[in-house]
């Protein structure tokens, strides 16, 4: 009742802003054609710019949405709104220029820059106009839903007190019904007729199945919408979706806030990225193999059981950087462990070979894990996988939440300190920060930030 109309309005405004962005490019083309700037070369025909209009119409709303422009109304001033619009349009202009450069397509940069300026003005004008219209009495009355609350008085009070200001603006409360009352069915129908109710808010907490069925049956007969509040204590309501099992509705509570479509794009990016990296880095990997054969006798690839998604063991591959008896020597070095918690790490580990130190400093020993990514056991970005024995020593059950997504080649820990971090709690905190704030854009930023870290060996040992 509350989020669905909001989502519909957001989609409409995104479509409108996309059309305004396309119109802005068309206006910029017209201005550039009518008044050439600094005797620049004559523009191509307008038909050549049609697909640029389409690109602007898609890029603008996507970046505006990424910047939170379409989120439910918050008490922010005009200055903040103007800044968000200008910043988003600047990002859109930059993204289009980069895209055109990569695609080797030549367009007048002045048209793109002017288009971004016009888009910012048009979108702000649209925003101010719609905000003023939305505050009018007629529109406000049309948007508000006449709501009847059904549930125990205590549960209804708690829910009403938890509503946000934006949610309260959408609800015009009529009356309350307690389904535990034997006459609740008759009273409910009377109130539906008396107040011309749009929707019934049914709070399940404290109700029995028969009492819930009474409310649902009355609303079904009257053709009135029902919003069912389960009264569950959830970390994030955005992780909850409705599914079906055995012909009956069930709640599906996701481990993360990530959208399934975005996770699919992440998986596709993992496969494509790992394949491209394996092909492009194969000469370097071959060189490492030859150097290891010459200077570090023994197996080239080290295999170890690591904890994957939800703790499922998998075989991790990496170039061997330690002596062949490293696992046997580990118990004797346990007293020198510098990492708090169940993880074992020490500086100047005597088991590491000279070639291994170079590989570790630049993360080259991790390259074989691209094969783990292709096998679907790892991701390019995600929490680093720990040995199964270390995971089994977790004393805080909250630490296992870092296992709720696939482990990765690189992560926030890798770019924010790496081996300079000596507290396992700080390590976990960075992993959980990544999980809670995950987005495709965050993955891209981490991947690009990993490049200088690996090249210059920052924090590696």
Same domain, 56 and 161: no
β-sheet with 199-203: strand ranges across:
171-177, 145-150, 199-203, 225-229
CA 354/CA 214 separation, integer angstroms: 76
Same domain, 227 and 307: no
Task: Examine residue 239 and state whether it is found in any structural domain, yes or no.
Answer: no
CA 143/CA 335 separation, integer angstroms: 67
Same domain, 73 and 219: no
Domain CATH code at residue 162? 3.40.50.10700
Q: Pick from 101, 121, 137: which residue ends a domain? A: 137
> Could you give the number of structural domains in the chain?
3
- Residue 243 sits at φ, ψ, to 5 deg, of -130, -170
Compute the C-alpha angle 147/153/157, nearest 5°: 70
Task: Examine residue 253 and state whether it is found in any structural domain, yes or no.
Answer: no
Task: Examine residue 248 and state whether it is found in any structural domain, yes or no.
Answer: no
Q: State the DSSP code for 399.
A: G
Per-residue pLDDT of the chain (461 residues; tens, 9 = 90+): 455 556 667 788 889 898 999 998 888 888 877 765 554 556 666 777 787 888 888 888 988 888 888 875 544 577 888 888 898 888 888 888 888 777 777 777 778 888 889 999 999 998 888 777 665 544 444 556 788 889 899 988 888 888 877 677 677 777 888 999 888 888 888 888 888 888 888 998 888 989 989 988 888 888 888 888 887 776 666 677 777 777 777 777 776 777 777 888 999 999 999 999 999 999 999 999 999 888 888 899 999 999 998 888 999 999 998 888 777 877 777 777 767 767 777 777 788 888 888 888 888 999 999 999 999 999 999 999 999 988 888 877 778 888 888 999 998 888 876 656 667 788 888 888 888 888 899 999 999 988 888 888 765 55
> Residue 250: in which H helix or E strand, if any?
strand 248-253
Task: Examine residue 301 and state whether it is found in any structural domain, yes or no.
Answer: yes
pLDDT at 139: 46
pLDDT at 455: 85
Same domain, 298 and 442: yes
CA 171/CA 140 separation, integer angstroms: 11
Same domain, 67 and 181: no
> Residue 12: in which H helix or E strand, if any?
helix 3-34
Same domain, 366 and 409: yes
CA 391/CA 357 separation, integer angstroms: 25
Same domain, 369 and 275: yes
| C-alpha torsion 424→434→402→410, nearest 10 | -80
pLDDT at 79: 81
pLDDT at 138: 45
pLDDT at 1: 47
Same domain, 31 and 93: yes
Task: Examine residue 94 and state whether it is found in any structural domain, yes or no.
Answer: yes
Task: Examine residue 249 and state whether it is found in any structural domain, yes or no.
Answer: no
Same domain, 126 and 150: no
Q: Pick from 231, 248, 276: which residue ends a domain? A: 231
H helix intervals, 223-298? 260-280, 282-295
In Å, what is the CA distance from 280 to each residue of 39, 267, 270? 45, 20, 15
Task: Examine residue 251 and state whether it is found in any structural domain, yes or no.
Answer: no
Sequence-distant (6+) residues with CB within 8 A of 188 are: 148, 150, 177, 200, 214, 215, 218, 219
> Residue 242: in which H helix or E strand, if any?
strand 240-245
Q: Which domain holds residue 192?
A: 144-231
Beta carbons of 121 and 82 less than 8 angstroms apart: no
Same domain, 192 and 318: no
pLDDT at 286: 94
Q: Pick from 189, 213, 231: which residue ends a domain? A: 231
Same domain, 183 and 109: no
In Å, what is the CA distance from 411 to each residue of 133, 262, 431, 452? 46, 18, 7, 14
Strands 145-150 and 171-177, bridge-based pairing: parallel
Same domain, 75 and 43: yes
Task: Examine residue 255 and state whether it is found in any structural domain, yes or no.
Answer: no
């Amino acid at each position: 009742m509350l989020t669905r109309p909001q989502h519909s309005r957001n989609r409409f405004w995104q479509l409108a802003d996309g059309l305004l962005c396309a119109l802005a490019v068309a206006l910029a083309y017209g201005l550039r054609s009518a008044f050439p700037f600094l005797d620049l070369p004559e523009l191509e025909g307008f038909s050549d710019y049609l697909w640029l209009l389409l690109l602007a119409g898609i890029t603008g709303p996507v970046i505006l949405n990424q910047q939170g422009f379409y989120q439910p109304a918050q008490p922010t001033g005009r200055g903040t709104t103007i800044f968000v619009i200008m910043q988003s349009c600047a990002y859109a202009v930059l993204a289009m220029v980069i895209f055109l450069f990569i695609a080797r397509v030549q367009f007048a940069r002045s048209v793109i820059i002017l288009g971004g300026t016009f888009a910012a003005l048009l979108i702000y004008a649209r925003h101010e106009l719609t905000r003023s219209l939305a505050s009018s009495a007629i529109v406000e009355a049309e948007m508000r839903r006449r709501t009847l609350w059904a549930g125990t008085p205590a549960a209804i009070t708690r829910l009403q007190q938890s509503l946000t200001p934006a949610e309260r603006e959408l609800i015009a409360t009529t009356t309350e019904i307690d389904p535990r009352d034997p006459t609740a069915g008759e009273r409910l129908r009377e109130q539906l007729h008396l107040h011309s109710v749009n929707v019934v808010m049914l709070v399940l907490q404290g109700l029995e199945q028969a009492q819930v069925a009474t409310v649902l049956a009355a609303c079904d007969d009257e053709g009135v919408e029902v919003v069912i509040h389960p009264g569950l204590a959830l970390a994030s309501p955005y992780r909850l979706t409705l599914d079906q099992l055995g012909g009956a509705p069930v709640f599906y509570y996701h481990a993360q806030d990530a959208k399934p479509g975005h996770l699919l794009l992440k998986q596709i990016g993992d496969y494509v990225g790992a394949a491209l990296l394996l092909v492009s880095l194969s000469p370097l990997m071959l060189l490492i193999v030859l150097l290891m054969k010459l200077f570090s006798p023994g197996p080239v690839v080290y295999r170890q059981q690591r904890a994957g998604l939800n703790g499922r063991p998998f075989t991790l591959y990496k170039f061997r950087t330690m002596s062949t008896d490293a696992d046997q020597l580990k118990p004797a070095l346990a007293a020198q462990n510098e990492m708090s918690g169940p993880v074992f790490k020490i500086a100047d580990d005597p088991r590491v070979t000279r070639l291994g130190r170079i590989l570790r400093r630049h993360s080259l020993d991790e390259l074989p894990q691209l094969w783990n990514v292709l096998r679907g056991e790892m991701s390019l970005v995600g929490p680093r996988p720990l040995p199964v024995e270390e995971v089994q020593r977790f004393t805080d059950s909250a630490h296992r939440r870092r296992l709720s997504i696939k482990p990765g080649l690189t992560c926030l820990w890798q770019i924010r300190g790496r081996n300079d971090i000596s507290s396992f709690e700080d390590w976990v905190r960075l992993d959980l920060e990544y999980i809670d704030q995950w987005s495709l854009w965050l993955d891209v930023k981490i991947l690009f930030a990993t490049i200088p870290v690996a090249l210059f060996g920052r924090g590696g040992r």
